[in-house]
Amino acid sequence: MWMTRLRLGSGIVLFVYVLGHYLNHALGIVSVDLSVAAQAIFTAPWKTVPGLILLIGSGLTHMGLAMVALARRRTLRMSAMEVTQYLAGLAIPVIMAEHVSIGLIGSLVDGTSVNFFDMDLIHWVIFPSKAYTTIGAIFVVWLHACIGIHFNLKLKPWYPRTAPFLLVAAVLIPVLSVAGHVAGGMAAAARVQDVEEARMALAEAGISPEVWGWIVARGRWLSASVGAVIATVLLYRMARQAMLRGGPMLRLAGSGGRSLPVDPGATVLEVLRDHGVPHASVCGGRGRCTTCRVKVVDGAESLPEPHPGEAAALHRIEAEAGVRLACQLRPHANLAVLPLLPPGVTARQGRQKAHLAGREQTVACLFIDLRGSTRLGESRLPYDVLFILNQFFTEMEAALTAHRGHYATFTGDGLMALFGLAGGEEAACADAWGCGCDMLGRVARLNQALAEELPFPLRIGVGIHFGVAIVGDIGPPAVRHVSAIGDTINTTARLESMTKDLGVPMVISAAAAERAGLAPPPETRREVEVRGRVGTLAVHALSEESIAALRGAEATP
């Protein structure tokens, strides 16, 4: 992770320098003199010793770490945007070598002092073809920088809202820079009669024909050196891959029962990509998000513990045991994994807590239903009905909040709530029980407050159960919310319906009552058949008197 941070930090330094250089170029639209005058301001921080060390160090660090990353990659299968960023990044040091030789190295080694006017003479008068090379370099450098910024910012919650404005800036800045470059070149060309006069002007800046020869030779040497480094890295990769194929092969069991050969040292994400298996990775496999996470279903004992960066990322989403990041996981033995997110996942979905992606979890569930809601609608105007229902649900929501319940589903005249999403069976059942009692009490107080508005007192039935359910982000893409499905949920709904047949305000399963620490009177216990279940279920049918007695027993020390 430290290499990732160092590469990002060096890239930011280079981006700040490039941005200032482009804005300086853009001033050429006004006049070349303004561009030359502003150059002293834009370059002042980089002409100091600390600034110069920071700039040169950042350039060498960024390029060196890029070569290391390329050498360490086990596959060259990447998204189109990643390929574009890599190709642009590899091209930059080659096409910019002569430019660096003239400006930065020239000022340090040759003692030259080249300003924008001098560069315009070189590019537009003496060597016109270099003008078009410079224009191409402007766009290549900017494209590489923008893709890097996009990969780093797209994980931020605010990025989707600001992306359109950033896109406008990303297009305008290089266009204005090129326009300033062209305008400055035209103005510089108009000030000299011919090439010889342009060479004389350069000589005054310290660039004699001999010095220029050194500059060109040095630029070519730099281009050749960078090209040699890139070629060496690619040859190293080819040789390593050839040697690995001759050695023992590990197997990776992926989705759909496929088994894939694993090169030693490769990450799970690299293996999947190398074999054309689609897999989510919003950040491009840089360990900056958790969208590539997988569940290790076999072979976990052979894996090393996650490093601090991976552990912190998994902790943020509250990942359960056995969940790892595919871009950081390097298997050394047979391994079976299950992808947890679809290949087309977004950054927003990647930031969700792990349980929101869907998992089995033990929860307490509560259902309530408002009795006589149809009759209420027949006896009151629509506005009055909505007013009463809104007051009712306001009180129910307050009860949920007070008892750490999660509102899961609204049914028109009732709701479903979940307890214990953060864990703790006893606490979940105790909260569900307390919430159900609180709701009954709030309905009683609401009847008193709305006595003149209600044609009859409001009554609710409460069903509470406890067990395993599938909890996750459920619903259409635009309106998804955390809810649950499964036998536990269906059973709770049936218990709520039983309150009508049993003539009581609450039916709670014996399992939930026991974990809540309740001791209901023996006469409240029932063995009931629940539609959709095999066998009977032990429940307690609690009357108002039984509920009051249990609440009184809780209050007694």
Q: Is the pLDDT of residue 556 over 80?
A: no
Summarised one tens digit per residue, pLDDT across range 320-370 is 778 888 888 888 778 888 777 777 666 665 556 555 555 678 899 999 998
At position 59, the amino acid (one-letter code) is G
How many Å apart are CA 163 and CA 154, to the nearest integer? 9
Summarised one tens digit per residue, pLDDT across range 410-422 is 877 789 999 988 7
Question: Which token pair is 505?
Answer: 């305000």
Question: Which token pair is 268?
Answer: 């799970």
* Cβ–Cβ < 8 Å for 252, 335: yes
The number of beta carbons lying within 10 Å of the beta carbon of residue 279 is 23
Return all residues near 79 (Cβ < 8 A) that are at least 6 apart: 284
How many Å apart are CA 290 and CA 304, to the nearest integer? 18
Q: Quote the pTM value.
A: 0.54
For residue 126, the 8-state DSSP code is I
At position 177, the amino acid (one-letter code) is S
- Tell me, what's the pLDDT at 250? 47
Tell me the mean pLDDT in the region 161-180. Answer: 93
106 bridge partner residues: none
How many Å apart are CA 9 and CA 504, to the nearest integer? 66
* Range in 159-173, 201-215, 221-235, 350-364 the model is least confident about: 350-364
Please give the C-alpha separations between residue 403 and each of 407, 418, 430, 459, 543, in angstroms, as whole numbers: 11, 11, 9, 21, 22
DSSP of 67-124, one letter per residue? HHHHHH-S-----HHHHHHHHHHHHHHHHTHHHHIIIIIIIIII-----HHHHHHIII
Q: Is the pLDDT of residue 284 over 80?
A: no
* Cβ–Cβ < 8 Å for 527, 483: no
At position 302, the amino acid (one-letter code) is S
**335-339/250-253 β-pairing:** parallel
Q: Is the pLDDT of residue 443 over 50?
A: yes
For residue 201, the 8-state DSSP code is H
Q: Rank 160-164, 184-188, 415-419 by mean pLDDT and report only the highest.
A: 415-419
The number of beta carbons lying within 10 Å of the beta carbon of residue 333 is 11
The number of beta carbons lying within 10 Å of the beta carbon of residue 315 is 10
Kindly indicate the confidence band of residue 491, based on its pLDDT and cuts at 50, 70 and 90. Answer: very high
CA dihedral 420, 425, 411, 404 (to 10 degrees): -40
Q: Which residue from 416, 432, 433, 414 is spatially nearest to 371, judged by alpha carbons? A: 414
Compute the residue count for the chain.
557
The residue whose two tokens read 């070598």 is 97
- HSE, CB side, 13 Å, CA atoms: give it for residue 319: 25
Summarised one tens digit per residue, pLDDT across range 293-325 is 888 877 888 888 888 888 888 888 777 778 888
CA dihedral 513, 519, 524, 526 (to 10 degrees): 50
Q: Is the pLDDT of residue 436 over 50?
A: yes
* Cβ–Cβ < 8 Å for 120, 32: yes
Measured in degrees and rounded to the nearest 5, phi and psi for residue 190 equal -75, -15
Is residue 455 within a helix (H) or strand (E), and if so which, with residue range? none
How many Å apart are CA 226 and CA 116, to the nearest integer? 26
Angle at 405 between CA 402 and CA 411, to 5 degrees: 115
Question: Which token pair is 118?
Answer: 């001098």
How many Å apart are CA 553 and CA 521, to the nearest integer? 12
Arithmetic mean of pLDDT over the chain: 82
How many Å apart are CA 480 and CA 482, to the nearest integer? 7
- Tell me, what's the pLDDT at 541? 94
* Cβ–Cβ < 8 Å for 473, 356: yes
* Cβ–Cβ < 8 Å for 363, 469: yes
> What domains are defined for the chain?
2-242 (1.20.1300), 250-354 (3.10.20.30), 358-555 (3.30.70.1230)
- Tell me, what's the pLDDT at 169? 94
* Cβ–Cβ < 8 Å for 291, 324: no
How many Å apart are CA 183 and CA 30, to the nearest integer? 8
Helical ranges in 307-424 per DSSP H: 308-316, 347-350, 373-379, 382-402
Summarised one tens digit per residue, pLDDT across range 45-61 is 888 888 888 988 898 89
Q: Is the pLDDT of residue 168 over 70?
A: yes
- How far is residue 304 CA from its own chain's centroid? 25
Please give the C-alpha separations between residue 258 and each of 83, 261, 266, 555, in angstroms, as whole numbers: 27, 10, 18, 59
Is residue 536 within a helix (H) or strand (E), and if so which, with residue range? strand 536-542
* Range in 31-35, 74-78, 228-232 the model is least confident about: 74-78
Kindly indicate the confidence band of residue 523, based on its pLDDT and cuts at 50, 70 and 90. Answer: very high
* Cβ–Cβ < 8 Å for 329, 303: yes
Tell me what percent of the residues of the chain surpass a pLDDT of 90: 26
- Tell me, what's the pLDDT at 367? 96
The number of beta carbons lying within 10 Å of the beta carbon of residue 432 is 30
Q: Is the pLDDT of residue 143 over 60?
A: yes
Secondary structure class of 50 (helix, strand, coil): helix
The residue whose two tokens read 């536990």 is 488
